[in-house]
């Protein structure tokens, strides 16, 4: 017994010494061990990943939490934090660290009033990923509050179920937005496309990259046009639908992007600065554009470039189809000589990918 205690003491001494110079630290452990570790100082720690293991019973997380009050000296220099399975009560004790963070990533995220308060304090945050639990949840009543600007936020990943509840946050310098669609969630009174447009217009941001992933975002192509009309500065657009009964098809999206329609403001072509377009669908049978139609789309974007005096038009267009036992990716890319090169990659489990490359004149 004495030998075991001596070895444990030596291990703790080594750990304490290592933590003195530690800049990056990942902790996957039970709450008691974490509390023991944080009794040491870690003055140089800037990048911290914390995943607390609750012995298979996550109900303990919300019942007991972890006392974080004594960990502030441990996290005094922190700039980037990734966390999972941390209770709301524990989060509330870390008030002093939020203003210093430039990156925050939370997995199994449930939106609560406490988390909204945390986000309002993140005045230096540049990257924020709020990856929801499944299904996503809003716990408690999110109170209305005066708007707060996060002036440095550039990259945001958020679930559709949480977007409206975060309306008090403004991000005028946001450049990249990923909206993870929850097919099971529906706002009782509003369309998600309206919420997205209102969020972007309130912040006045000039998005460069927009990703709408996992599920159907809109009821109709008119809703999609509404979103794209509010994001005219886009360079990259990705639309993904993995549901079995998708609304979107490659053909429909192509038509929305290729030509003006009566719904567009002043008949202007949508997202004229678009460089890269990716469409991803979870199945084989969706209506897809032909190679000729893709060439026409690229040509139509080139005409916009000439008309508006822009430097470049659509440079890459990907269509991805995937299932559990099969996937296919078709890529069209414009070369520096003005030609369009098409690559097709098809893969099956247990076999090598089939690849074909075809060069076409634009």
Give yes or no for residue 356 having a pLDDT over 50.
no
If pLDDT is split at 50, 70 and 90, which confidence band does 353 have? very low
Same domain for 247 and 184: no
Nearest to 173 by CA among 133, 211, 204: 204
Domain assignment present for residue 90? The answer is no
Which of the residue ranges 67-71, 90-94, 252-256, 355-359 would you say has the lowest mean pLDDT?
355-359
In a domain, 91, yes or no: no
Average of per-residue pLDDT across 301-307: 73
Of the three residues 149, 182, 205, the one that is the final residue of a domain is 205
- Nearest alpha carbon to residue 321 among 356, 276, 288, 357: 288
Q: Do both 229 and 201 map to the same domain?
A: no
* pLDDT computed for residue 217 by the predictor: 60
- Give domain status of residue 250, yes or no: yes
- Same domain? For 193 and 323 the reply is no
> Are residue 216 and residue 358 in the same domain, yes or no?
yes
Do 108 and 218 sit in the same domain of this protein?
no
CB atoms within 10 A of CB 322: 17
The mean pLDDT of the chain is: 78
Examine the pLDDT at 44 and tell me if it is beyond 80.
yes
List of residues 6+ apart from 215 with CB closer than 8 A: 160, 181, 182, 183, 241, 242, 243
Q: Does residue 163 carry a pLDDT above 70?
A: yes
Report which of residues 361 and 271 the model is more confident about.
Answer: 271
Q: Is there a single domain that holds both residue 211 and residue 329?
A: yes
Residues 216 and 297 in one domain: yes
Assess whether pLDDT exceeds 90 at residue 152. yes
Integer Cα distance of 179 and 217 in angstroms:
9
Do 141 and 221 have their domain in common?
no
Cα separation, 63 vs 278, in Å, equals 44
Residues 285, 200 share a domain? no
pLDDT of 41 over the 80 cut = yes
Residue 173 has a pLDDT of: 97
pLDDT above 50 (res 228): yes
226 and 183: one domain? no
Give the domain range for residue 175: 102-205
18 in a structural domain: yes
Q: For the ranges 20-24, 132-136, 233-237, 332-336, which has the lowest average pLDDT? A: 332-336
What's the number of domains the chain is made of?
A: 3
Please, which pLDDT band fits residue 267 given cuts at 50, 70 and 90?
low
Q: Do the domain assignments include residue 1?
A: no
Q: Which of 21-35, 109-123, 134-148, 181-195 has the lowest mean pLDDT?
A: 181-195
Does one domain contain both 354 and 274?
A: yes
- Looking at the structure, do residues 293 and 267 belong to the same domain, yes or no? yes
């Amino acid at each position: 017994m004495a030998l075991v205690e001596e070895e444990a003491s030596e291990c703790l001494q080594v750990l304490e010494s290592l933590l003195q110079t530690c800049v990056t630290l990942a902790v996957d452990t039970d709450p008691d061990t974490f509390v023991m570790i944080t009794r040491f100082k870690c003055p140089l720690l800037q990048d911290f990943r914390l995943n607390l293991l609750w012995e298979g019973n996550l109900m303990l997380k919300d019942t007991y939490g972890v006392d974080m009050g004594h960990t502030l000296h441990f996290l005094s220099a922190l700039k980037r934090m990734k966390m999972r399975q941390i209770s709301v009560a524990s989060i509330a004790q870390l008030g002093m660290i939020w203003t210093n963070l430039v990156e925050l990533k939370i997995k199994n995220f449930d939106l609560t009033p406490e988390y909204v308060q945390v986000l309002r304090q993140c005045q230096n945050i540049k990257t924020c990923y709020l990856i929801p639990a499944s299904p996503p949840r809003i716990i408690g009543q999110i109170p209305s509050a005066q708007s707060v600007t996060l002036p440095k936020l550039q990259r945001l990943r958020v679930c559709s179920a949480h977007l409206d509840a975060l309306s008090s946050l403004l991000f005028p310098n946001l450049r990249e937005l990923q909206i993870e669609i929850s097919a099971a969630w529906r706002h009782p009174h509003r369309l998600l496309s309206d919420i997205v447009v209102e969020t972007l217009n309130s912040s006045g941001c000039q998005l460069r990259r927009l990703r709408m992933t996992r599920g159907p975002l809109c009821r109709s192509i008119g809703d999609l046009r509404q979103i794209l009309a509010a994001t005219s500065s886009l360079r990259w657009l990705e639309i993904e639908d993995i549901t079995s009964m998708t609304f979107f098809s490659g053909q429909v999206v192509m038509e929305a992007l290729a030509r003006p329609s009566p719904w567009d403001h002043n008949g202007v072509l949508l997202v004229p600065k678009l460089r890269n377009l990716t469409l991803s669908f979870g199945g084989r049978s969706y209506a897809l554009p032909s190679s000729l139609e893709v060439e026409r789309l690229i040509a139509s974007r080139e005409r916009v470039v000439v008309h508006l005096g822009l430097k470049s038009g659509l440079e890459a267009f990907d269509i991805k189809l995937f299932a559990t036992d099969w996937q296919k990716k078709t890529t069209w890319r414009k070369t520096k000589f003005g030609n369009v090169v098409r690559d097709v990659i098809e893969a099956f489990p247990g076999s090598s990918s089939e690849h074909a490359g075809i060069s076409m004149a634009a």
